[in-house]
Amino acid sequence: MKKTAFVTGMTGQDGPYLAKYLLENDYRVYGLVQRYSNPNLSNIDYLGIQNDIELVTGDITDDASMNHLVKRIKPNEFYNLAAQSFVGASWDLNKTTSEVNAMGVLNILNAILNNSSTTKFYQASTSELYGNSNTNGIQDEDTPFKPRSPYAISKLHAYWTTVNFRESYSLYTCNGILFNHESPIRGKEFVTRKITDGVARIKLGLTDKITLGNLDAKRDWGFAGDFVEAMHTMMQQPEPSDYVICTSVQHSIRELLTYSFEAAGIIDWEHYVETDPRFKRPAEVHSLHGSYSKAEKMLKWKPKTSFKDMVTLMVTEDIRRLSRES
């Protein structure tokens, strides 16, 4: 009999990649979408799974909705990838960010506790929990959290709620502390996709500038397709735990620009990039650099896709998409 998975965040990046991976592993996959308006399912279409997943209507901020869906479906595994995930917007949308990212998780866990207590739960956590905290320049499962944005604060609430339900009610719950991860279907509000889309437009003569904020920020970037495999593997362990998922390799925005322009055959990227202080955050996180040693030891997981290969793929796909549209 097929396992059943319930996946939220189906209009984002990770939901479709995870759904595709689960389908390839013979799961029956339910995907949550909101029906306040026509949802954008282009990411599902891009991965070619639009006819293979079962979309259901709901809202994680509505406890009645979550109770109804969990009681009806009783999934073997519940993956919460839904979030207000744009860090920069969280200062202006701090209440919405908290309602979705913090209270939404509480609604899901209460629904599981009350209606399907054998359901395993995965919470998409984030390296933004660390802020500028580190242990000898590295962030791992033992590094203290010091969030520096409303987004990170809401995710910290969700992290500890997930741990608390595990310790209080013996539910199978785990947090994946995921560092930055990207793909051709990353939202254009994120700096990686803003850059690769901008480079593609410059290559095709559709624009001549990309405007950015802090070029010196450093991140540990991986490929979303690799990271969803780690999510699934966490849920197959005898005992639940929390894991850092990353590449353990750090790159700057300047390196991202270099590789992006190189992928388009353009060398002098400084000519096309300008900075604007409006794009800088009120409280910057200057450096994120993780260690996936626990995941490698316990899950036998490690990243497969290099930073350069991921960036090249994103630029190539953006050029292809824009060429088709023009």
Per DSSP, the residues of 240-257 read: ---EEE--S--EEHHHHH
Tokens of 182: 């990207």
Distances (CA, A) of 170 to 66, 95, 105, 166: 20, 30, 17, 5
* pLDDT, average across residues 38-46: 88
- Residues marked active site are found at 126, 128, 151
To the question of domain 188-219+251-286+306-325 being in CATH 3.90.25.10, the answer is: yes
List the domain boundaries for the chain.
4-181+222-245, 188-219+251-286+306-325
Question: pLDDT by residue (tens digit) across 47-82?
Answer: 999 999 999 999 999 999 999 999 999 999 999 999
Select the CATH number that applies to the domain covering 4-181+222-245 from these four: 3.50.50.60, 3.30.9.10, 3.40.50.720, 3.40.50.300: 3.40.50.720
pLDDT at 93 over 80: no
Helix (H, G, I), strand (E, B) or coil at 42: helix
Helix (H, G, I), strand (E, B) or coil at 6: strand
pLDDT at 278 over 90: no
Distance CA 75, CA 3 (A): 8
Backbone angles phi, psi at 149, to 5 degrees: -155, 155
Q: pTM, whole model, 2 decimals? A: 0.94
